[in-house]
Homo-oligomer: A and B are copies of this chain.
Amino acid sequence: MDTQKTPTPAAKKRSAAAQERLDQIVSAAVRLINARGFNGMSLQAVADEVGITQAGVLHYVGSKHGLLVEVIRRYYDRSSALDDYLSLFHPGGAFEGQSPKIPEYCRLLVAENNSQPELVMLFQMLNTEAMSTESPLHEYFNDRSRGVIEPEPDVNWSVPEGIDATEAISCALAAMYGLEGRWVARPDEIDYPAEWSKFEDILFPLPLWEGYR
């Protein structure tokens, strides 16, 4: 029964405080998942970081699985400069009629991920744990992996002759994932966008991709 009529300003204020607390909980959970994995993380550790009791954490998320759901939700609530790029080529967009370029798309993705190392690490950790059929995220990440290779089926990419656009995206994203794993493991040693630009010379070598980058 949803009795949520016009919420009073006071109710809004309280709910905002609650939202802030939930954010603290999710932030702590992300840090702990990155450090130990979801299986290795405990509700008590989350509670300690936030400064409340373990039962207090459960008050917000219900169960450990509920916490995982909130963490995933946070991952998806990121802003995506990417969808913005692709939508430019859709009917009504600024570049309607033109075709997007894979290297350009990749560069945007790299730039975006470069500003969110914590979420990149979270993705690597959960995605890896989800390899196991035992993981509650197994099907979820498998579906995602299938879908991401063809992010926008109605877009026709501008690629050189003899190059399969779908394969090029698939391969580029695999390389990106591999590089991201190295980067988040030693962020001080690796300049992610700089390394990517070197990868670009391999993935999209210049005589062939001239005009398509």
Residues of A within 8 A of B (CB): 34-40, 121, 124-125, 127-132, 134, 138, 141-142, 145, 162-164, 167-168, 170-179, 181-182, 184-186, 198-199, 201-203, 205-208
Contacts and interface: CB of A to CB of B under 8 A. Distances in A.
Nearest to A31: B132
B131 A125 contact: yes
Contact of A36 (B35, B36, B125, B132): B132
In the A-B complex, the 9 residue pairs with the closest CB atoms = A39-B40, A174-B178, A177-B178, A128-B128, A175-B175, A171-B202, A131-B185, A174-B175, A178-B178
24 contacts: A34-B131, A34-B132, A36-B129, A37-B37, A37-B40, A37-B129, A40-B129, A127-B181, A128-B181, A131-B181, A142-B185, A145-B186, A164-B202, A167-B201, A171-B202, A172-B202, A174-B174, A174-B176, A174-B177, A176-B178, A203-B203, A205-B205, A205-B208, A208-B208
A165 to B, nearest CB: 10
